[in-house]
Chain A
């Protein structure tokens, strides 16, 4: 389908034509939010294809990017709730100060749902709202307070981060919060996300690698990932390369450094979009594809 990208406030418009790369540019000079619409008729949903462009003040984009890219590794995913029922029971029972405190941090609706929860299996939906609320706590203020964590065995990693000078910020602060919460509910929450799972998530959603790389050997814009680990590939220039950690990291951060022969240099760089830990996750995921072979 042909679409057309239009940002009226920027006086720019360009058709989005399948099978063809069109260039467009604009220079936003005012901070704010501006409508973005599709102006090439594309079927029943045509008039619902609209969103907004956000122009950040200097530095604002980096902040947003950080927040957006931290969404994955340090924060909880539903799968990290290893014992959801246990966590809810603990929150309901109360007693320890950290339990009372955490229950209060949850959204009122979530609290209602928890008190209405009859015990037993935790529904997918309840699990999701709880995880969302936990993540809101993680990404909020530093959560450590001596009284609050009375009676909790604080782990070694958390202790080091707490002692750090200057105090951890950004990604690290969220990581610290996560350590502390896992320490408070060690049986209910998992300490580190499963790297392979995180890698798959990046492949499918966050990094969007899937739009160019298949995992089943299918042809696409980029080479397939099926059985990629350990393979030796001919390059357009220079000697052939065996796929291992460094090469993958380089392919992600600097895709044009080495071009696989038979492909075009169209892969975008993920520098600044994927953190080191996320690249580790991708690598872990690619390794599993080799084992399948």
Chain B
């Protein structure tokens, strides 16, 4: 490529992608954008791995008895699917990929507050993943991703490397959270008060609080588990005088908030995309912002709803049930505000919007079925059945994964300066949406009819619904393959993207696509992040630019 380009006055500055070449310029970079890309690559690799495990699990379930693997392998597959998807994919997904890339840009800042900590967080992610991969090779864990004791202290599989991996990944998560909290506090530009921040930042802020407060509890719990397994100190194992239910309390004290680590940033993405593609100011800004904080707060008070049948006292059950219902309020506040934002907007059905609409629909079902799981009278029947499996896929897959895909299609032009082929983007969103429902809706019925989760063999009357679910899973995977090809194709063959291809008012769209190393050449203009009226479409660049410029130049 010619280097003359950069020298031409008025032409675009060198992008961060052109600053330095070779592997070292990437793996030792301090640039938040490059770290975002590093996370993108590693998190997506985990997603493919986790997806592969999922397909193996679904394939095994095609028949009531053995299909392609034995019971032990099956148990390892569903454990790995859960552990990889949660610890390696969804938890770091939006915060570490989208957050790292977009957060400083949205603040008009040069970088996050602690660039080295940021790089350390990625390295810890890599080390943690290597531990997890090593455990797969040594003797893949078969405890379920929850590592419940006493099974996890007794099984012969490699529990220690896997939990060690999760422990290290926890640090990675804490580092990211810490960085975001400080960055948001300290690096907001003059003129951007808390209530002029884009809502994604509110969401990332709330997420970071949970990451910093809850993750250490998981870390300690996993260390206690390792101590018990290796040294034989009785903490959770009743044979050694411990209490297995104590483990469940500790585990869910982190892992319930963790589902909000997954969903909150996704909700932030929705708030951004929905306004841009409805061509309308976001509705109820302060309610959406406040509800993120409310969710973060309430998320710490509901862990007991994972243990309704553990023998917990009826009083505790009742209190946890009531608290669980209260989480529905801030969640519903968000959904209603999104719908109100779309109401009377000029809805533009581009790829990111399709993924986000999918989010609202699927998360809606996930949330509403959550009420069945919060109500004591109904949860006793469906606890630990496919109903729960379906519920959390509707929330955790229908939520964060759909939002991450929407976010990738939304910010891809900013990441790589290239546009993808709109048609294939849309096809992938539609295929995934259909495939998702075919896969998971039957699982609600399975659960209600009495199909327990984590079953290798199952009664033959459940076969047809399982087959339907598996076929849906295959279809779903095709959707993701199309999405990946579309995105990768864009990097190499895509049309050059404008600075602001979708007409958004947040600051990251004021710099070129992709941005230069230090993000902004001129100080960006700080304004209402949802004031779309000031933007006009410019046919020449196929993007939007501020209307004011027309007269001023």
Contacts and interface: CB of A to CB of B under 8 A. Distances in A.
Contacts of A17: 238, 244-245, 310-311
B457 A15 contact: no
Interface in B505-540: none
Contacts of A18: 150, 238-239, 244
A15 B459 CA distance: 22
A178 B488 CA distance: 84
A4 B239 CA distance: 19
Interface in A5-23: 6, 8, 11-15, 17-20, 22-23
Interface string A20-45: 10110000000000010111111111
B337 interface: no
Nearest to A34: B450
Nearest to B70: A44
A22 B454 CA distance: 23
Contacts of B238: 17-20
B interface majority secondary structure: loop
B485 interface: no
B445 to A, nearest CB: 13
Contacts of A4: 309, 384
A50 B154 CA distance: 23
A41 B311 contact: no
B456 A41 contact: no
Interface residues of B, number: 34
Contact of B452 (A2, A37, A43): A37
A38 B154 CA distance: 19
A48 interface: yes
A33 to B, nearest CB: 14
A20 B348 CA distance: 58
A47 B458 contact: yes
Contacts of B46: none
A15 B148 contact: no
B336 interface: no
Contact of B457 (A6, A8, A43, A48): A48
Contact of A2 (B72, B75, B151, B456): B151
A1 interface: yes
A13 B380 contact: yes
A14 B144 CA distance: 19
Contacts of A15: 309-311
B454 A8 contact: no
B393 interface: no
A39 B311 contact: no
Interface string B95-113: 0000000000000000000
B296 to A, nearest CB: 30
Contacts of B309: 4, 13-15
Nearest to A9: B450
Contacts, number: 89
A41 B71 contact: no
A18 B144 CA distance: 19
B291 interface: no
Q: How large is the interface on A (under 10, 10 to 19, 20 to 34, 35 or more residues)?
A: 20 to 34
A47 B66 CA distance: 12
Interface centre among A4, A8, A39 (most CB of B within 10 A): A39
A47 B155 CA distance: 17
Given A14-B309, A18-B244, A1 B150 contact: yes
B142 interface: yes
B383 A41 contact: no
B315 to A, nearest CB: 14
Contacts of A14: 309, 311
B385 interface: yes
Interface in B305-350: 309-311
Contacts of B245: 17, 20
A2 B148 contact: yes
Interface in A102-154: none
A277 interface: no
A290 B456 CA distance: 49
B243 interface: yes
Contacts of B144: 41
B380 A11 contact: yes
Which of the listed residues B380, B383, B384, B457 has the most CB atoms from chain A within 10 Å of its own CB?
B384
Given A8-B381, A44-B71, 20 more contacts: A2-B150, A11-B381, A13-B383, A13-B384, A14-B309, A17-B245, A17-B311, A20-B311, A35-B459, A37-B452, A40-B148, A41-B75, A41-B143, A41-B148, A42-B151, A43-B75, A43-B142, A44-B72, A47-B456, A47-B457
16 contacts: A1-B151, A2-B244, A4-B309, A8-B449, A8-B450, A11-B380, A12-B380, A18-B238, A18-B244, A20-B243, A37-B452, A41-B75, A41-B143, A44-B71, A46-B456, A47-B455
Interface of B: 71-72, 75, 142-144, 148, 150-151, 154-155, 238-239, 243-245, 309-311, 380-381, 383-385, 449-450, 452-459
Q: What are the 6 A-B residue pairs with the smallest beta carbon separation, nearest first?
A: A19-B238, A22-B311, A8-B450, A47-B455, A39-B384, A18-B238
